[in-house]
Amino acid sequence: MREIDVSAVADALERMCVSANVQLPGDMQRGIRAAREVEDSPIAATVLDQIIQNFEIAKEEQVPICQDTGMAVVFLEVGQEVHFVGGNLYDAVNEGVRRGYTKGYLRKSVEADPIRRGNTGDNTPAMITTDIVPGEKVKITIAPKGFGSENMSALRMLKPSSGLEGVKAFILDTVEKAGPNPCPPIVVGVGIGGNFDHVALLAKKALLRPVDSQNPDPFYRELEEELLEKINALGIGPQGYGGRSTAIAVNIETLPTHIAGLPCAVNISCHVTRHETEVI
């Protein structure tokens, strides 16, 4: 059994809130640059040049890549041999987010009540997901998520009779309806299977997979490639100005599901698809 003081979690998240918001992950940088190389629309190419210049300035000057510094989405993979001491784990997560967003001068976007509103003033609470895994380490991933793209996401409880073609149609329809709103070029996270709540989480987790990686299952690898080609053929383009680069990647995650169901969720992320991981 390994003891970990929850203050270490708070300290890590304080750092990560800032760094995730000012430095775009390397896979996204490579994806956007690759899109620029093949973009033949002059307007779209100019937009991509501006996006590249923006994330370069953000890194150099240590300022947010986007004014929407997002809701703090936190994934914890906790080794089953870990014993937390020094306080409540979730309190520590929120303390780290609170300090990071305050000290880093990041925009605080969380409303205390979905209907009555009222800003919490410190971007808490974080949206926390915890998985128990083997070992004695804690893996922390933060993925600040803006709502220009989050609002374009969708979930459909398809029937098994909808089949693969129904899944494809739902994904393509969701992206087409989103149009320029999620600030393309986008990353499309897709969850298939599970149940109502788990399929949405699958789609969110799909956004954590590097955009230049391949799905380990050849069937879903081909499906990702097919969907990416069809999405880019929609012609929405960077920021909606037309062109070849509507999406950087389509990432699919799956779970077993019920005999009577075919849940499918699409979680869209903008060209500022942020995530950072630390292991304690």
Report, in angstroms and rounded to the nearest whole number, the Rg of the chain calculated over CA atoms.
19
Q: Are residues 140 and 158 in the same domain?
A: no
**What's the domain range around 182?**
147-272
pLDDT score for 6: 98
pLDDT score for 172: 98
Q: How many distinct structural domains can be found in the chain?
A: 2
Q: Are residues 14 and 75 in the same domain?
A: yes
Domain termination site, one of 118, 144, 170: 144
Q: Are 74 and 138 in contact (CB under 8 A)?
A: no
Q: Are residues 196 and 172 in the same domain?
A: yes
pLDDT score for 217: 98
Q: What is the CB neighbour count within 10 angstroms for residue 5?
A: 14
Q: Is the dihedral of CA 256, 174, 233, 210 positive or negative?
A: negative
Q: Are residues 124 and 167 in the same domain?
A: no
Q: What angle do CA 60, 61, 62 make, to 5 degrees?
A: 95
Q: Are residues 126 and 154 in the same domain?
A: no
Q: Are residues 160 and 244 in the same domain?
A: yes
Does a structural domain hold residue 36? no
Residue identified by tokens 């209907």 is: 115
pLDDT score for 32: 98
Does a structural domain hold residue 235? yes
pLDDT score for 73: 98
Give the β-pairing of 247-257 and 138-142: unpaired
Domain termination site, one of 103, 124, 144: 144
Helix ranges (H only) for 104-240 are: 147-150, 163-178, 196-206, 218-232
Q: Are residues 114 and 194 in the same domain?
A: no
In order of 143, 234, 236, the CA distances from 178 in angstroms are: 21, 12, 10
Q: Are residues 94 and 117 in the same domain?
A: yes
Does a structural domain hold residue 176? yes
Query: For the stretch 246-273, what's the b/e string if a residue is b when 16 or more beta carbons lie within 10 angstroms of its beta carbon?
Result: bbbbbbbbbeebeeebbbbbbbbbbbbb
pLDDT score for 65: 97
**Could you give the CA distance from residue 49 to residue 67 in angstroms, rounded to a whole number?**
19
Q: Are residues 158 and 265 in the same domain?
A: yes
**Could you give the CA distance from residue 263 to residue 97 in angstroms, rounded to a whole number?**
32
**Could you give the CA distance from residue 249 to residue 148 in angstroms, rounded to a whole number?**
18
Per-residue tens of pLDDT for the chain, all 280 residues:
999 999 999 999 999 999 999 999 999 999 999 999 999 999 999 999 999 999 999 999 999 999 999 999 999 999 999 999 999 999 999 999 999 999 999 999 999 999 999 999 999 999 999 999 999 999 999 999 999 999 999 999 999 999 999 999 999 999 999 999 999 999 999 999 999 999 999 999 999 999 999 999 999 999 999 999 999 999 999 999 999 999 999 999 999 999 999 999 999 999 999 999 999 9
Q: Are 16 and 140 in contact (CB under 8 A)?
A: yes
Domain termination site, one of 101, 122, 144: 144
pLDDT score for 90: 98
pLDDT score for 188: 98
Q: Are residues 207 and 115 in the same domain?
A: no
Q: Are residues 160 and 114 in the same domain?
A: no
- Give the closest residue to 251 by CA, choosing from 275, 271, 274, 267: 267
Does a structural domain hold residue 73? yes
Q: Are residues 180 and 268 in the same domain?
A: yes
The encoded tokens of residue 18 equal 């800032």
Does a structural domain hold residue 45? no
The encoded tokens of residue 271 equal 């060209």
3-state secondary structure of 194: strand
